[in-house]
Chain A
Amino acid sequence: MNAIEISGIKKSFQNVHALKGVDLAIRQGEFFGLLGPNGAGKTTLISAIMGLVRPDAGAIQVMGLDNRQEPMAAKKLMALCPQEINVHTYFPIQKIMEFQGGFYGFDRKTSKQRAEELLKRFGLWEKRKVGKFNLSGGMQRRLMIARSLMSDPKILILDEPTAGVDVELRHELWDFLKTINQNGRTILLTTHYIEEAEQLCGRVAIIHEGKIVACDTPQKLIVQHGQKGKPVRRFVRPGTLEEVFVNLTGKRMEEAQQWEMAPRL
């Protein structure tokens, strides 16, 4: 049984075809990377897995459970670290963390303990009494990761978790994610950082304009799509995932990602 099995997912927003038939299987215990340029459909796909986007066609199974037939059971297995900082604007972050534990069934005492552990683990304990506007961008990202861990999920889905985080912290986070993956969690991660995908992911799918254009281990992708006779562009390191990405999407991977601040209403 796969951790997540996506078959034939299509989704359009008005006239934008965000997903044009996506098939993907993420195995249990895998560290899986989803790479794609801006607007490729990564967040839409992840939102469909979480039940936040309703696909026009196709089905998604989470540990064998159809996420539309059995949403409660499917949701209990997953947690999302979203691209946007979607927390109650004025809630102290300690409350945000504690409520999150409660949503997944932890009693108050356990939620309190877990919140304290995670806030300390991510260097946010000193800030526990303040809301999101009193946190720096990097702290906000850390809060999202910490919150996604509150429920101790079997499957952790991270949508560009390290965007805007400084290098030192990013490396620390990588170690942390590697450890929790080795402890048996399935991780699905989207990223714009090649190094991140190369360092962490056992397998990588490249999504471009709503379609998966390649899916394999980074090494195999480099062999298959690395140098296809096309002239290697300037600034692109040959023999890397970056080159694969450029060849398949015609776009450079971005160094920094700005997340949308505008509400989707």
Chain B
Amino acid sequence: MGNGTPFVTLLRQEWFRFTRLWKQTIFPPIVTTILFILIFGFSLGDRIREIHGLSYILFIVPGLAAMGAMMNAHTNCSFALYMSRFDQSIDNMLAAPLRSIELVTAFLWGGIARGMLVGLVTLAVSLLLLKQPPYHLGWTLFFLITQTVFFGCWGIVGALRAKTWDNLATAQNFIITPLIYLGGVFYSVDLLPGIWRTISGFNPLLYMIDGTRYGVLGVHDLSLLTSAGLSAGMSLGMFALCVILFQKGYRLVR
């Protein structure tokens, strides 16, 4: 009996959960993102002027990869945990000798893995299509990972709070999607008029997406240090919140 076995089993379980349905969990988001690139990039891109000296299609690639990573991390974590609450399989995990931090990390791992798969495959395919090597792989990975952690944890909190399946969809449709779209996936904040620029500055996703763009293309609107610090800080904060909620048994222990 190895000491790490229970935790490793949890990780394997979460991996099994989404790869078992890869045709629904991994394939469609990649196709969607590539369609975005084809539509916005190739068909409309010519009519939009260059940003930071880059063609519009290239400019939106990092944002789209980041968006895929964020949304899939969120969806995976929130659905996996909510489903476990719904079929009460979470009770079986809570009754087993598993620590809160292990449970949170496992649910999060499912989100990170799925988010990163979608993000990286999207990125790889787009960059291949555009014959553009990534500018800095390290920063690219850093920003993608912190994004998936942040959104995965957000999904975990959402799944704990949700009382119906609708609650989960509402969070996605009315909070996360707008924040992502307004986070500069499709435009540079430099292009926004003054007041909107200031307002956008309060959207934490702006920094995450801008950082990703630096990693992939080497261009950025905001301070790299601010973006990196915010991304790391927010994802760690969210993770800590999830662990505390699990330890307290929030909506888990009756």
Contacts and interface: CB of A to CB of B under 8 A. Distances in A.
Interface stretch (A97-105, A182-190, A204-212, A215-223): A97-105
B87 A104 contact: no
B87 A54 contact: no
A101 B8 CA distance: 12
A105 B6 contact: yes
Contact of A265 (B3, B6, B85): B85
A263 interface: yes
Interface residues of B, number: 36
A104 B6 contact: yes
B43 interface: no
B199 interface: no
Interface in B224-254: 249, 251, 253-254
B96 A103 contact: yes
Interface of B: 1-3, 5-6, 8-10, 12-13, 16-17, 20, 83-99, 162-163, 249, 251, 253-254
Q: Is the interface of B mostly helix, strand, loop or mixed?
A: helix
A131 to B, nearest CB: 10
Contacts of A151: 96
Given A52-B95, A82-B91, A87-B89, A103 B10 contact: yes
B91 to A, nearest CB: 5
Contacts of A90: 20
**Which of B20, B86, B89 has the most CB atoms of chain A within a 10 A radius of its CB?**
B89
B95 A105 contact: no
A51 B97 contact: no
B96 A106 contact: no
Contact of B5 (A86, A102, A265): A102
A103 B94 contact: no
Given A75-B95, A75-B96, A103-B10, A265 B163 contact: yes
B95 A99 contact: no
A181 interface: no
Contacts of B90: 86
B249 A54 contact: yes
B5 A106 contact: yes
B83 A89 contact: yes
Contact of A54 (B93, B98, B253): B253
